[in-house]
């Protein structure tokens, strides 16, 4: 029997790690620049937390959550996203008495039982950032700017914002009613999914990708025509700030995003892939009713999540280079039993001095060890044999030039340190 990684998951092999290390480093750096503090929330939470916040009638809650059971008969869901857990933590730890707003970010895996394809996995990673406790559209702008800077800083090409407002509990229902009424007149023209969606989660019809539904969507009422004065003002102020900053965006009245908790601002960043197609690399928005829905005090919030796999795929498609990870600088080879014994002490000393070093194992000939050393792409190979032991020295071979010299043992570490700098 051969085991394989579960469908929709993958191993991040060493050759891919430079992308991950670089990206995660940039994420921590940017989050700090914007004054965000890191929070880690559990990988699993109560099922109800997600059902209530994301919404019962969403794809995520209806069919994509991984439910894990405990022996005690309790069950939990692997987190499909971070906002619900972050807002749960905000309430649980009484963060509303901290200086407001609270800016929090997380990096970690999320899980959705989706149909795997390029850029869509069942275990994927998100960078998630939230500003909780602030309704100023400047908070929306900051979250959007953080998202934008992330991609710009990484060197992405062909970036664009997609922007919409989905109103609030006052005006959203009026719009939804108009949308449902419009769809009632067009039920014969749309797909089965949309006929169902218009009953259970009407806004989702705007998301439909089927060709058959496109003409109906194009003529559908637009939410921006239904916004109440407060929402319209909030949206106008955000757009004004984006204009002032010179950040281009596309008003996309079809952008509703799949999650129930959004109010007012919703946005996505799209990036051009290798082939020129546009691809959502992150999405987010405002969720002013969420804290209250989860039993907390009424607290506005805005945030976004970026998928790290999609970022890395796009970096690779766009040919964006990342710095290599440090590799061993030194290979310690030995000849004879005494040399082998002495090499253990030398390796320890090198590592203590901060010099990355690897050793030869087993009883290979010196020639075989040298081949190993050159495959390991080290800068220096150190050789410890009888002669070296007798003269309390080490032979140092420069792997780039092929030259060798005998270096007194007590000078070795210091000399290596300065030449490896």
Footprint on this chain of ligand AMP (rule: CB under 6 A):
81, 112, 114, 119-121, 124, 126, 280-283, 305-307, 309-310
CA neighbor of 379 nearest in space, from 420, 421, 333: 420
Question: Shortest Cβ distance from residue 119 to ligand AMP (Å)?
Answer: 6
DSSP label of 117 = B
CA neighbor of 322 nearest in space, from 100, 3, 22: 22
Decide whether 107 or 282 has the Cβ nearer to ligand AMP.
Answer: 282
Structure tokens at 304: 């976004």
DSSP per residue over 42-56, as a string? -SEEEHHHHHHHH-T
Query: Measured between alpha carbons, how far is 406 from 388 in angstroms, rounded to an integer?
Result: 8
Q: In what order do the strands lie in the sheet with 75-78?
A: 44-46, 75-78, 67-69
Instruction: Give the residue nearest to ligand AMP (CB).
Output: 307
Structure tokens at 180: 């449902």
Q: What phi, psi does 44 have (nearest 5°)?
A: -125, 150
Q: How many Cβ atoms from other residues are within 10 Å of residue 86's Cβ?
A: 23
Question: Shortest Cβ distance from residue 270 to ligand AMP (Å)?
Answer: 10
Decide whether 119 or 356 has the Cβ nearer to ligand AMP.
Answer: 119
Question: Shortest Cβ distance from residue 80 to ligand AMP (Å)?
Answer: 8
Question: Shortest Cβ distance from residue 372 to ligand AMP (Å)?
Answer: 39
Decide whether 230 or 272 has the Cβ nearer to ligand AMP.
Answer: 272
Query: Measured between alpha carbons, how far is 313 from 399 in angstroms, rounded to an integer?
Result: 34
Decide whether 284 or 328 has the Cβ nearer to ligand AMP.
Answer: 284
Question: Shortest Cβ distance from residue 123 to ligand AMP (Å)?
Answer: 8
Question: Shortest Cβ distance from residue 150 to ligand AMP (Å)?
Answer: 12
Decide whether 160 or 372 has the Cβ nearer to ligand AMP.
Answer: 160
Decide whether 122 or 340 has the Cβ nearer to ligand AMP.
Answer: 122
Decide whether 282 or 370 has the Cβ nearer to ligand AMP.
Answer: 282
Question: Shortest Cβ distance from residue 94 to ligand AMP (Å)?
Answer: 26
Q: What phi, psi does 105 have (nearest 5°)?
A: -135, 155
Q: What phi, psi does 135 have (nearest 5°)?
A: -110, -5
Question: Shortest Cβ distance from residue 8 to ligand AMP (Å)?
Answer: 8
Query: Measured between alpha carbons, how far is 79 from 142 in angstroms, rounded to an integer?
Result: 25
Q: Where are the alpha helices (DSSP H) in 220-331?
A: 229-245, 290-293, 308-317
Contact (Cβ atoms closer than 8 angstroms) between residue 190 and residue 212:
yes
Contact (Cβ atoms closer than 8 angstroms) between residue 331 and residue 287:
no
Contact (Cβ atoms closer than 8 angstroms) between residue 104 and residue 271:
no
Question: Shortest Cβ distance from residue 277 to ligand AMP (Å)?
Answer: 15
Decide whether 115 or 410 has the Cβ nearer to ligand AMP.
Answer: 115
Decide whether 227 or 306 has the Cβ nearer to ligand AMP.
Answer: 306
Contact (Cβ atoms closer than 8 angstroms) between residue 167 and residue 226:
yes
């Amino acid at each position: 029997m051969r085991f394989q990684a579960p469908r929709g998951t993958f191993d991040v092999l060493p050759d891919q790690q430079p992308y991950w290390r670089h990206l995660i480093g940039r994420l921590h750096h940017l989050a700090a620049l914007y004054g965000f503090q890191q929070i880690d929330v559990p990988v699993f939470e109560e099922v109800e937390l997600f059902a209530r916040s994301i919404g019962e009638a969403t794809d995520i809650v209806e069919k994509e959550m991984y439910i894990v059971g405990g022996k005690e008969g309790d069950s939990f869901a692997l987190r499909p996203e971070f906002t619900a857990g972050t807002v749960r933590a905000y309430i649980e730890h009484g963060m509303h008495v901290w200086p407001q707003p609270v800016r929090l970010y997380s990096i970690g895996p999320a899980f959705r039982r989706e149909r795997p394809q390029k850029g869509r996995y069942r275990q994927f990673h998100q960078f998630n950032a939230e500003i909780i406790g602030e309704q100023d559209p400047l908070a929306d702008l900051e979250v959007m700017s953080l998202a934008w800077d992330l991609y710009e800083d990484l060197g992405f090409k062909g970036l664009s914002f997609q922007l919409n407002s989905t109103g609030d509990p006052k005006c959203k229902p009026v719009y939804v009613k108009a949308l449902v009424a419009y769809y009632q007149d067009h039920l014969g023209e749309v797909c089965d999914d949309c006929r169902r969606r218009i009953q259970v989660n009407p806004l989702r019809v705007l998301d439909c990708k089927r060709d058959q539904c496109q003409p109906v969507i194009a003529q559908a009422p637009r939410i921006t025509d239904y916004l109440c004065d407060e929402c319209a003002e909030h949206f106008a102020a955000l757009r004004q700030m984006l204009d002032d900053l010179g950040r281009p965006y596309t008003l996309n009245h079809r952008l509703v995003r799949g999650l129930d908790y959004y109010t007012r601002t919703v946005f996505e960043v799209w990036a051009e892939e290798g082939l020129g197609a546009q691809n959502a690399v992150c999405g987010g928005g405002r969720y002013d009713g969420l804290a209250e829905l989860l039993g907390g005090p009424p607290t506005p919030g805005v945030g976004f999540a970026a998928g790290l796999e999609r970022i890395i795929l796009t970096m690779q498609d766009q040919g964006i280079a990342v710095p290599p990870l440090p590799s061993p600088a030194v290979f310690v080879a030995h000849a004879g039993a005494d040399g082998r014994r002495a090499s253990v002490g030398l390796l320890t000393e090198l590592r203590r001095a901060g010099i990355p070093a690897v050793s030869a194992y087993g009883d290979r000939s010196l020639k075989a060890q040298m081949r190993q050393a050159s495959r390991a792409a080290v800068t220096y190979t150190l050789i410890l044999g009888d002669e070296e032991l007798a003269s309390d020295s080490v032979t140092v071979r420069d792997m780039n030039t092929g030259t060798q010299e005998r270096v007194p043992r007590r000078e070795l570490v210091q000399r290596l340190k300065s030449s490896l700098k």
